[in-house]
Amino acid sequence: MNPGRCAACRHLRRKCPPDCIFIPHFPPNVPQLFVSVHRIYGASNVAKLLQQLPLHLRADAAESLCLEAQYRIEDPVYGCVGLISLLQQQILDAEKQLAKTRAEIAFLKSQAAQHPQAAALRGNLSDNAADLSFSDHHQSFCG
Amino acid sequence: MGGSSPCASCKLLRRRCAKDCIFAPYFPSDDPHKFAIVHKVFGASNVSKMLQELPIQQRGDAVSSLVYEANARVRDPVYGCVGAISYLQNQVSQLQMQLAVAQTEILCIQMQQESTQIHQDDKPFLLPTYNNLDTISQYLNSASSSNIVIQDPPPLKRESLWT
C-alpha cells in the first residue's frame, strides 16, 4: 500500500501518480471529502471539471463541490437549493419588515414635525394606552 | 415508452427507453437540454442512483433541484450554487443590520416624544438623556434575538468538513 496516495486514489484503489489532479484538494487524512463528491458527482466528472479550470481556481472549485455534495447527502431531495429557497424567503420577509418600519418612521417624523405639541399632548393624555397599543403594533411589524 | 419516442435521457445515452425508465417521467424528449446539463455535471448513473433512493413522490422535486444545481455549476464552474448562497447570506445580514438601525430609530423618536412630554410636565429631577442611551444600548444588544424575526441561516459547514 502506497502511503502517499491521495484520498481519491485510495478510495478508487489505484496508483496515485505525481501529477494526480486530486492530490492538492483531497488529502489522505480527510477521506470523507472525496467520498462525498464521488458519491454525488463521480470521480471522472470532478476530474473533468477541475481540469477545465486554471490552477489557482481549482481549490475553490473543489471546496464548493464538497460543500454541495455534503448538502445533497444531507438533503437528497433539495440539496443546497433548499437553503437557497430559505434565504430568498428570508430576504423577502426582511425587505417587507424594513419597508413597514421605515414607513412607520416617516409617519412618526411627519407627526412630530407637523404637530409637535399635539404629539406630546397625546402622549400625556393617554400615556399607558398609547404605549401598550404602539408596542403591540410594533410587535406585529416584527412578525 | 411503448413505441412512443424515447425520453431525453435514453436519446442522449443512445439506448432503448424501457417502459419503467426511471428518467422518462422527468426528462421528456422535447427538452433535451435538461438532461444534458444534469448528465454533464452529475452523470446519468449518479442521477439514476439518487432517484432510485427516493420515494416516487419526491423524485420530481429532486430532479428540479438537480437541474438548478447543474445550471448553476455550468454558469459558475468555480462556485456553483455556493456562490449564490454566500451572496444571499450577505444580503440577509445587511437587511438585519438595516432593520436593527430602523427599529432603533423608532425607539429614539419615541424617547424624544416622551422627553418632550416630560419637559412639558416640568419634572426636572428626571434624566431622560441618560435613560435614553441606556435603553438604546440595551435594545441594540437584544435586537437580533428578540425583535427581529429573521433567523440566522445555517452557516456553510466549512469547518465540519475538514475536522
Q: What is the ipTM of this complex?
A: 0.74
Domain identity same for A91 and A64: no
pLDDT at B56: 96
CB neighbours of B137 closer than 8 A, spacing ≥ 6?
Answer: none
- On whether residue A117 sits in a domain, the answer given is yes
Residue B113, chain A, CB below 8 Å: the answer is: yes
Is the torsion defined by CA of B36, B37, B41, B44 positive or negative?
Answer: negative
Q: What is the pLDDT of residue A41?
A: 96
Last residue of a domain, one of A56, A74, A92: A74
B50 pLDDT band, cuts 50/70/90, is very high
Mean pLDDT, chain B, rounded, equals 80
Is the pLDDT confidence value at B130 over 50? Answer: no
Tell me the C-alpha distance between A15 and B124, whole Å: 85
Inspect the interface and report whether the beta carbons of A61 and B113 lie closer than 8 Å: no
Domain annotation covers residue A34:
yes
Is A15 within a domain?
Answer: yes
Q: What is the mean pLDDT of each run of 10 residues along chain A (143 residues)?
A: 79 92 92 95 95 96 96 97 97 96 92 68 50 43 37
Share of chain B above pLDDT 90, in %: 63
pLDDT tens profile B61-96: 999 999 999 999 999 999 999 999 999 999 999 999
Cα–Cα distance between A122 and A48 in angstroms, integer? 71
Residues A41 and A66 in one domain: yes
8 Å CB contact of B150 and A93: yes
Asked if residue A58 and residue A111 are part of one domain, the reply reads no
The pLDDT, as a whole number, for residue B140 is: 52
Considering A53, A74, A95, which residue would you say is the last residue of a domain?
A74
A103 and A53 inside one domain: no
B159: pLDDT strictly greater than 60: no
Q: Whole domain around residue A36: which residue ranges?
A: 7-74
Q: Which residues in chain B touch residue A92, judged by CB atoms under 8 angstroms apart? A: none
CA distance B108 to chain A (A): 10
Residue B107 in contact with partner chain A when CB distance is under 8 A: no
What is the value of pTM for the model shown?
0.72
Tally the domains of chain A. 2
Question: Which of A60 and B146 is assigned the larger pLDDT?
Answer: A60
Inside any domain, residue A2: no
- The reply to whether A67 and A21 lie within a common domain is yes
Task: Looking at the structure, tell me whether residues A18 and A64 fall in a common domain.
Answer: yes
Best interface-test mutation with B: which of A35, A51, A95, A97 has the largest number of B CBs within 10 A?
A97
Closest CA to B106 of A103, A120, A125: A103
In a shared domain, residues A134 and A92: yes
Confidence of residue B99 (pLDDT cuts 50, 70, 90): very high
Domain shared by A11 and A51, yes or no: yes
The answer to the question of residue A56 being in a domain is yes
Q: What is the pLDDT of residue A114?
A: 77
Q: Are A11 and A70 part of one and the same domain?
A: yes
Residue A30 lies in a domain: yes
Q: Say if A51 falls within a structural domain.
A: yes
Q: Kindly list the distances between the CA atom of residue B101 and the CA atoms of A74, B98, B105, in Å, as whole numbers in the listed order.
A: 36, 5, 6
State whether A67 and A14 are in the same domain.
yes
Q: Which of A48, A74, A100 is the last residue of a domain?
A: A74
User: Is residue A1 domain-resident?
Assistant: no
Does residue B133 have a pLDDT over 90? no
More confident residue, B120 or B21: B21
Taking CB atoms within 8 Å and a gap of at least 24, the contacts of B118-121 are B120/A117, B120/A120, B120/A121, B120/A124, B121/A124
**Nearest Cα to Cα of residue A43 among A78, A67, A79, A69:** A69
Neighbours of A29 (CB within 10 A): 7
Please tell me the predicted confidence (pLDDT) of residue B135.
Answer: 53
Which residue of chain A comes nearest to B76, CA vs CA? A61
**DSSP conformational letter for A22:** T
